[in-house]
Every structure is written in structure tokens, then in C-alpha cells.
Structure 1
Amino acid sequence: MLNRVLLIGASGFVGTRLIEEIGEERCVNLDKQHSSRYDNITVIQDIRNEGIDAAISHQLSAVVLLAAEHRDDVSPVSLYYDVNVQGTRNVLDAMDKKGIKSIVFTSSVAVYGLNKDNPDEEYPADPFNHYGKSKWQAEEVLREWYQKDPENRSLSIIRPTVIFGEANRGNVYNLLRQIASGKFLMIGKGENKKSMAYVGNVVAFIKYLIDNDRPGYRVFNYVDKPDFNMNKLVSQVRSDLEQNGGLIRIPEVLGMLGGFGFDIVAKATGKKLPISSVRVKKFCATTQFSADKLDASGFQRPYTLEEGLERTLRYEFIENHDDKPVFFTE
């Protein structure tokens, strides 16, 4: 019998690549949105609704929970907790009803907060926003579920740093697009380091956990090393794009003032703008995380960070893929 996996929230960027990685014939996708590539295996359902087990008709060996409310500007903020925490409870209830004992959960390094010193998985949680707080609460719900039957249940938690890759329209893409345009403005000294994760490696790691599943509790940061600081990252991208010339730089304090100005405009107009104080704060923050536990797991990354960047830049700014779907994330 085919060993099927239920992916929840796989109509988006990571999920679409994960279905490709695992194989369409092994997957069932439960999502509140249709899938641009895999709608034939997609069941439309919202995890905020109880009784989602009724939408699961296949015999399944494991669940991968990708669904999350994650944008910076979600309103009302209760949505973070309705989706990320209560939604997780609903998924676990459905798993219990169907006899599914294995789950891979994508959390976030947001549980650590900002400007931490290369935290590993044992570092105390200190989330600074509702997204991070709700992800930590969801982890607690999952750990409570696991502890009820640790000899038979399997819980793997992945805390990825910012994920980038082909066809993604998130913060990393916006940065790459600005650099590619030749109009990039460096805010601050550029010495802050940024941990990053290429989507091709992230989905390969999720598949690795599924294929090597066993009872137990595991938690991993997901980072592709080495960490670049902003100066190195910008230099690498400009080199791949064969750009020359100097950069315009402004102090961080001026960047924050500009961000607050955009916040005021966004609030007055009701429009979501590409620049905000939160995004400037993130840009200037050190977001560096340990990957020692991942490196010791036996998993081999298919791509280096440089290769992931080069593949993304070629797909987005050199080749023509206007006929392909894109995915909007943070």
C-alpha cells in the first residue's frame, strides 16, 4: 500500500515544492485555497474549523502542518492564535480520530525573538511579535499531545529562518529585486548577519524526516550555512548579476524614521505598503541561528546557500518564467 502523507497548507510556496519533492502520488493536500499545480489532490478546508477529520478520506501515515497566519500586518491579531494555535489543536484532534501518530510541524525562529546570539534549539523562547508568540504556543500544544503517548507518537518541529527560492514573492525576493534594479539603498552598516534557508533544501529536509520517521520528539532550527552579513549578501547578489559600482548607504536611525512615515501613510490610507518600521527593524537586525543539531542529524543539503541564491537569481532575473505561478509570502 502506498505510504500517503497529509500536507496541511501545501497550496503555497513551500508546500508546492514539497509535493514535488515527495511525489504527487504520495500526497494529499488540505488547504483553504486551491493549488495552482496540484488541485487534483487538494481538499478545500480551513483548519480553524473543527471536525476537519471528515475531509480526510485516505489512509495516511503522517501529517506535515505548514498552514500558518504569518504576515506582519494581520488584523485582527487574534487571527494568529485562531489559525496557529487553535488550528493546531484541531489538526491534532483530527489525527487522533484517524489514528495518525506522526506529525512534522513547521514553526519558526521567530520564537527566539530578535538580535539573539546564534540561538540553538535549547535557547529560551522570547518572541517579540504575535506570530512568534502564536508559533511558540502551538509548539507547546504539540508537546503536550506528544507526552500523552511518547512511546508511539512522533513529533518533529522545524524552526526555519527566512525561506527564499524560485517563484517566491517575500522579503528576500523584494531585497533581490531592489538590488537587481540598481536602486538598492543600504540601511545601517551592513554588518548584521542573516541566516537564510533555500526552499530546495527545506523541502528535502522535511522529506528526510518523513522517510526516517520513528517515535520520539525532535526539534531543529533550519538554516543554510554559512551566515552572510548584509554586506556579503549584497555583494554576492551583485556579483551573480554582474553589477558594478558603489552603494548608497543611510544610517539606521534615518531608515527607521522613514519606516514610521510609511506606517502613518499605511494607516491613513488603509493600504499595505512595501516599507514599514517593522520591516526596517528586521532588515537591520541580526537574525543568526545555530544549525549544529541539523548538521549532526545525518541530513545532507542538496544545495549550498550560494547555489540556492544563484538558482533563484537566474530564475527571477535572467530567465523568463512569466507563465509560471508565483507565491506571495512574508
Structure 2
Amino acid sequence: MNILLTGGAGFIGSNLARQLLKEGHQIICLDNLDTYYNPDHKWRNVQQTLNNRDYHFHEGDIRDSELVDTLFRTYAFDAVVHLAARAGVRPSVQDPALYYDVNVNGTLTLLQAMQRSGVSKMVFASSSSVYGDSPQVPFVETDTADRPLSPYAASKRAAELLCHTFHHLYGFDIFCLRFFTVYGPNQRPEMAISQFTDSILNGQAITVFGDGSTSRDYTYVDDIVSGIIRSLENLRGYEVLNIGGSDPISLADLIQVIERALGETAIINRLPMQPGDVQQTYADITKAAQLLGYQPTVRVEDGIQQFVDWYRARQDARFVMQ
């Protein structure tokens, strides 16, 4: 397949690109190397695949309709995997207009370009945050998702609705995948597991919001990549699918897992819960299992150990280079 991959220089996107290239697909990556976190991380991701003749990188913004239309005219896309987004629940509270512009208008720009060029297949990266602070667990795709707690969550839900509109109007085949807290080697540096690991190793306090009872359904990046690829292989109609680990862990227990993997003890600085945060996430993956044959394979304890091993190796490599 000839695939347009938006956000392909990021954490999930770069892992997906490498796997799709192994399977013989051609990848055209569109990424603006956003400064939400240090773009050097993304550029290093891109450099890992630049020498592959089936990989083409374009730096640019999904809101740039002229650029997007040019890509659709230049390449005969079979499908779009749309991962590009302004990330982060808490920062979205401070700048909701930016999140709506990127996540909603950017998605609309892509959908319109697809309609103009005759491309009808998309896998869209949504988020478990659309469920809000639902007390009913596990989260099922048929649950009402009309009470998001952050602009980020609301923007993802709005983009899902746009996808359904284009499915209805033009017969697009679109799967909206609700990812549940993705982690693993090379993950974004501002994410909790990265920050906790770095701070603990450096003898610094970690910031914990709340009493540690909040829980998240952490999903290892390889399982997310599997869910995306299985969606591409089964893409027909419009579906919303949970892609998660289906094994939530409390924040307090997560910290203990990281401590054991590091062989170190955390110094904890507790602060109140933050606006936009939810108490729990928990994916019911029955539908994904039935439609895609999706099953997560990496337990949190094993995934954290793999992340810690990667992190230590990266730190050792930096020391050697210095």
C-alpha cells in the first residue's frame, strides 16, 4: 500500500513507519516537527528511515491545504493514517483554540483533500480521553462520549464526528481508534513514565497529582502499532474501536513498578489533581478483538522494564559520546 502517514515523525508514528516499511509498504510522512517537545527527538526518528527508498518525508502542517493537496496529487495514496495532533490534556486547557485548530481543522483539511482526490480510506488516531470521567468501566465504544473534560478530548471527539460525516456523505472507510495511554521506548519526554524514570535516576522528586489512586490503561507501543496495521487490513465502513491494554494500573502501583525496574526509590512531591484529568481509564477491547483479531501482548511490568532498559542504554550512549 501507498500510505500517507501524518505525524509520522512522532513516537507512535515512527514506530508504525518502521513496521510498515518492513511489510513492504510505501510511506509518505507528513510532520511539522512541532515544538510541543524538543523537535530533535522527532528528527532522530525520521533519520532512522530516511535511507529507505520507500520512505518519503515532508515537513509541513496538516492545516496547509495547498501542501496537502500537492501531496495527494503527487502520490497515489491507497490510505491515510492520521496520527498528527496537538497532544496533551493539561496544556489544552491553557490554549484551547490551538488544539481545536490543529486537531479539528487539520482533520477536516485531510478529509477534504481525500474527497477531492478520490482517496476513501483512513485510520484516525483518537483518544480514550473522549470518554471523560466515566464511572462505568471498562469503557465500551457504545458509551456516551459527550462530556469531555479537556479541550484536547473535545477536539478528538469532534474529529471523530467529522470522520463519520465524511463516511456518510462520501462512503469513506474510516476506523477511529481510541488509544489508551501509549508508552514504550522513545516515548515523548514529557509523559509520566519518562519524567518519573529520569527524575528517580537523578535523585530528584517526582510530581504526583492526587493521592495515587488514579488509574490508567497503559498500552505498549508495539500493541498500538499492531492495532493500526490490523485496522488497515480490515478497513471497511465506519467504526470506533478501543485499542488498549485492558489491564489498568493505579498511579501508586505504576511508580512501584518503575522503582523495581530501576532498583531505586522515588521521592514524591504530591500536588492536587489537575483540571482535565480523569480518575480512571479502562478499555473494553471486545470489539477490536472481534473485528481485527487484536490482542495486547505486553504486560505493564514487562513494558516498563523494556522502557527502562532502553532509557539506560540511551544514557550510557550519551556518556560514551561525551
* Structure 2 length-normalised TM: 0.80
- Is contact 1:116-1:288 (8 Å) kept? no
- What's the CA shift string for 1:261-295, capped at 9, x where partnerless? xxxxxxxxxxxxxxxx44xx73x832333333234
What is the match of residue 284 of structure 2?
290
SS at the partner of 2:218?
A: strand
SS at the partner of 1:287?
A: coil
- Is contact 1:186-1:247 (8 Å) kept? no
Q: 1:222 aligns with which of 221, 230, 243?
A: 243
- Is contact 1:6-1:27 (8 Å) kept? yes
Matched residue type, 1:231: A
Q: 1:311 aligns with which of 298, 306, 312?
A: 306
What is the match of residue 29 of structure 1?
29
What is the match of residue 124 of structure 1?
144
- Is contact 2:245-2:283 (8 Å) kept? no
Deviation of the 1:156 alpha carbon: 0.5
Cα–Cα, structure 1 residues 239 and 295, in superposed 2: closer, same or farther, change >3 Å?
farther
- What's the CA shift string for 1:130-187, capped at 9, x where partnerless? 111111111111000001244xx31111111221111221322113333444544655
- Identical columns (%): 24
State the superposition RMSD in angstroms: 2.6
Deviation of the 1:200 alpha carbon: 1.5
What is the match of residue 203 of structure 1?
225
What is the match of residue 36 of structure 2?
none
SS at the partner of 1:73?
A: helix
Deviation of the 1:76 alpha carbon: 4.3
Between the aligned partners of 2:206 and 2:102, the Cα distance in structure 1 is 35
Between the aligned partners of 2:95 and 2:47, the Cα distance in structure 1 is 28
- Is contact 2:185-2:311 (8 Å) kept? yes
Matched residue type, 2:234: N
Name stretches of at least 5 consecutive residues in structure 1 with no aligned partner: 260-276, 324-330
Matched residue type, 2:283: F
Matched residue type, 1:37: Q
1:82 is aligned to 2:101 = yes
Relative contact order (C-alpha < 8 Å, sep 6+): which is higher?
1
Deviation of the 1:314 alpha carbon: 0.9
Q: Which shows bigger deviation, 176-185 or 56-65? A: 176-185
What is the match of residue 6 of structure 2?
8
Between the aligned partners of 2:161 and 2:206, the Cα distance in structure 1 is 40
1:73 is aligned to 2:88 = no
Cα–Cα, structure 1 residues 4 and 178, in superposed 2: closer, same or farther, change >3 Å?
same
SS at the partner of 1:43?
A: strand
What is the match of residue 41 of structure 1?
56
Between the aligned partners of 2:316 and 2:288, the Cα distance in structure 1 is 33
Q: 1:60 aligns with which of 56, 72, 77?
A: 77
Between the aligned partners of 1:186 and 1:145, the Cα distance in structure 2 is 41
Cα–Cα, structure 1 residues 204 and 289, in superposed 2: closer, same or farther, change >3 Å?
closer
The number of aligned residues is: 291
Deviation of the 1:47 alpha carbon: 1.5
What is the match of residue 16 of structure 2?
18
* Structure 1 length-normalised TM: 0.79
What is the match of residue 328 of structure 1?
none
What is the match of residue 214 of structure 2?
192
What is the match of residue 170 of structure 1?
190
Deviation of the 1:310 alpha carbon: 1.3
Q: Which shows bigger deviation, 170-179 or 99-108? A: 170-179
Between the aligned partners of 2:209 and 2:315, the Cα distance in structure 1 is 31
Between the aligned partners of 1:87 and 1:156, the Cα distance in structure 2 is 17
